[in-house]
Chain A
Amino acid sequence: MTVSGHIYGVVLNDRAELGRLAPQFGSKPYAASPRAPVVYMKPRSTIGRGIVRARPGEKLRAASTLALLFARDAVRCTAETALDCVGAACLALDFSEPQASYYRPAIAQANRDGFLTLGDWMPPVLPKVIETHIDNILGHSWSLDQLAREPAQLIAELSAFMTLRAGDALLVGLPGDAPHVRGGQLLSVSAPGLPALDIRLEEALP
């Protein structure tokens, strides 16, 4: 089995980013801090094969993360049992057009064909640090310790209202300081215990 269902992800799960945005949460359009996990979905048409196309001159946000594949349905799990439902893990690089606001779903910015690259699936591991090299230079690094809701807690809170079904994948959170990249660059995402992910950004014809 591989991803046969849906790909879910969450934003605003990076403690550093939450801290930085906290002063905005009291004002419009948010009016309050987020309570439930902030979920998005990527259709399977976003899964690319190592080549991502950027428009001429366009900067894309390249957010490294961990993808978890469910082997059993996660329904009303506790954090203690949540990871029992996970059957595999891989590195992922989630692309989007940079957005200033989290008010409305970012379908137009994040659902472009090829805007998600997944690595090879391995038995579940939770690596501590995920690095992204851009043209062979370390361009970004982050620790899953930064997650406001660590994966087990995240699955528990999501599964309270939505079943994560066998065949679904979950991207556990995106770094708030993800690098911006452009056509022509080579990206490599790596983490201890997981196969690296290599992506070439091509500049699409205008």
Chain B
Amino acid sequence: MKRARIYHHGRDVWAELVENDTALRLPDGVLVPLADAQWLPPVVPGAAVYALGLNFADHNKELGFAPKLETPLIFMKGGNAFVGHEGNTPRPEDANQMHPECELVAIVGKPARNVAPEQGLDYVSGYTVANDYAIREYLENFYRPNARVKNRDATTPIGPWIADAALVPDPQALSLRTIVNGKVVQDGTTADMIMNVAELVSYLSNVTTLMPGDMILTGTPRGVHFCDAGDVVVCEIEGVGRLVNHLVAQ
């Protein structure tokens, strides 16, 4: 099953994709054609959202970092940062080094505490796609990547929906691509993650209790491409979804 959160007739509702992903069925049975959907981030309000930096060796090399860090680089994001499928992301006028980052997102399905890596995937209920934009001009070396880079309003498109884990038998065998105005700028595979989804669930569950609805953005492969206002940026992950975002001048 795929589930999306949309705005419909004055409220937000979770709807199920039906009829070969051409329509959304609301809880009351009403069908909304996909083209008419007003997409919201498929994120439970208040969820703890973790994100990985430098989790793909080829991306680390491109940025001049060691292929594998001694400890994973993890930061958190707030709900203010998210924007749904087909949403707008503001590009500040001075952000000449703003680049998209296509990432597989794992959604936690049940409380996870001290989970072994072998059991990590048992705690994942679904997956979605995020574009964790970075603005390199705003990077500072304090709690890097700092909030002014990674927790800006509407600067993390996510969605369009959550694909159940049953639809993604191997989360480490998925192609990830970012396409800007029709040109492929990132073309990687989740097979290249340094810490895989199961290991990340395990690692975090040994730090804190992960709760249902919490999310892990698992990092991005190589391909730093600076974007402009007006660009249409598509992040797609095989078998999970295709997320469209519009960069607008701020």
Whether A and B are associated in the same complex: the answer reads yes
Interface size on B, residues (CB 8 A): 34
Interface: B73 (CB within 8 A): yes
Query: How far does the Cβ of A106 sit from chain B's closest Cβ, in whole Å?
Result: 7
Q: A39-B146, A112-B208, A162-B80 given as contacts; is B48 within 8 A of A5 (CB)?
A: no
Is chain B's binding surface mostly helix, strand, loop or mixed?
loop
Write the B62-84 contact mask toward A (1 if CB under 8 angstroms, else 0).
Answer: 00000000010111111111000
Collect the chain A residues with CB atoms within 8 Å of residue B138's CB: 36
Interface: A56 (CB within 8 A): no
Interface: B182 (CB within 8 A): no
A162 and B81 within 8 A (CB) = yes
Collect the chain A residues with CB atoms within 8 Å of residue B61's CB: none
A38 and B78 within 8 A (CB) = no
A35 and B140 within 8 A (CB) = yes
Interface: B141 (CB within 8 A): yes
Collect the chain A residues with CB atoms within 8 Å of residue B214's CB: 43
B45 and A5 within 8 A (CB) = yes
Compute the total of residue contacts between A and B using a CB distance below 8 Å: 108
Q: A45-B48, A162-B81 given as contacts; is B208 within 8 A of A103 (CB)?
A: no
Write the A37-77 contact mask toward B (1 if CB under 8 angstroms, else 0).
Answer: 11111011110000000000000000000000000000100
Contact residue among A12, A44, A45, A168 (Cβ-Cβ distance under 8 Å from B142): A12
A63–B59 Cα distance when bound, in Å, is 37
A7–B148 Cα distance when bound, in Å, is 16
Chain A positions 147-184 with a Cβ under 8 Å from a chain B Cβ: 158, 161-165, 167-168
Query: How far does the Cβ of B153 sit from chain A's closest Cβ, in whole Å?
Result: 5
Collect the chain A residues with CB atoms within 8 Å of residue B147's CB: 36-37, 39, 158, 161-162
A5–B45 Cα distance when bound, in Å, is 7
Chain A positions 1-34 with a Cβ under 8 Å from a chain B Cβ: 4-6, 8, 11-12, 29-32, 34
Collect the chain B residues with CB atoms within 8 Å of residue A168's CB: 78
Q: A5-B78, A39-B151 given as contacts; is B48 within 8 A of A103 (CB)?
A: no
A75–B79 Cα distance when bound, in Å, is 14
B46 and A6 within 8 A (CB) = yes
Q: A161-B152, A168-B78 given as contacts; is B143 within 8 A of A11 (CB)?
A: yes
Collect the chain B residues with CB atoms within 8 Å of residue A32's CB: 140-141
A29–B139 Cα distance when bound, in Å, is 13
Is chain A's binding surface mostly helix, strand, loop or mixed?
loop
Chain B residue, CB-CB nearest to A37: B147
Collect the chain A residues with CB atoms within 8 Å of residue B210's CB: 45
Write the B127-169 contact mask toward A (1 if CB under 8 angstroms, else 0).
Answer: 0000000000010111110111001110000000000000000
Write the B24-63 contact mask toward A (1 if CB under 8 angstroms, else 0).
Answer: 0000000000000000000001101010000000000000
Contact residue among A31, A36, A113 (Cβ-Cβ distance under 8 Å from B148): A36
B153 and A161 within 8 A (CB) = yes
Max chain B Cβ within 10 angstroms of own Cβ: one of A107, A108, A163: A107
Chain A positions 68-109 with a Cβ under 8 Å from a chain B Cβ: 75, 102-108
Write the B175-216 contact mask toward A (1 if CB under 8 angstroms, else 0).
Answer: 000000000000000000000000000001001111100100
Q: A41-B78, A113-B209, A165-B79 given as contacts; is B71 within 8 A of A108 (CB)?
A: yes
Chain B residue, CB-CB nearest to A41: B76
Contact residue among A36, A44, A112 (Cβ-Cβ distance under 8 Å from B48): A44
A5 and B46 within 8 A (CB) = yes
Chain A positions 117-157 with a Cβ under 8 Å from a chain B Cβ: none
A11–B146 Cα distance when bound, in Å, is 12
Interface: A111 (CB within 8 A): yes
Query: How far does the Cβ of A23 sit from chain B's closest Cβ, in whole Å?
Result: 15
A102–B79 Cα distance when bound, in Å, is 24
Query: How far does the Cβ of A113 sit from chain B's closest Cβ, in whole Å?
Result: 5
A162 and B152 within 8 A (CB) = yes
Query: How far does the Cβ of A45 sit from chain B's closest Cβ, in whole Å?
Result: 5
Q: A45-B48, A105-B74 given as contacts; is B152 within 8 A of A29 (CB)?
A: no
Q: Which residues of A does B touch, CB under 8 Å?
A: 4-6, 8, 11-12, 29-32, 34-41, 43-46, 75, 102-108, 111-113, 158, 161-165, 167-168
Closest 10 interchain pairs by CB?
A43-B48, A39-B147, A41-B76, A6-B78, A111-B208, A38-B142, A105-B75, A163-B80, A36-B148, A30-B141
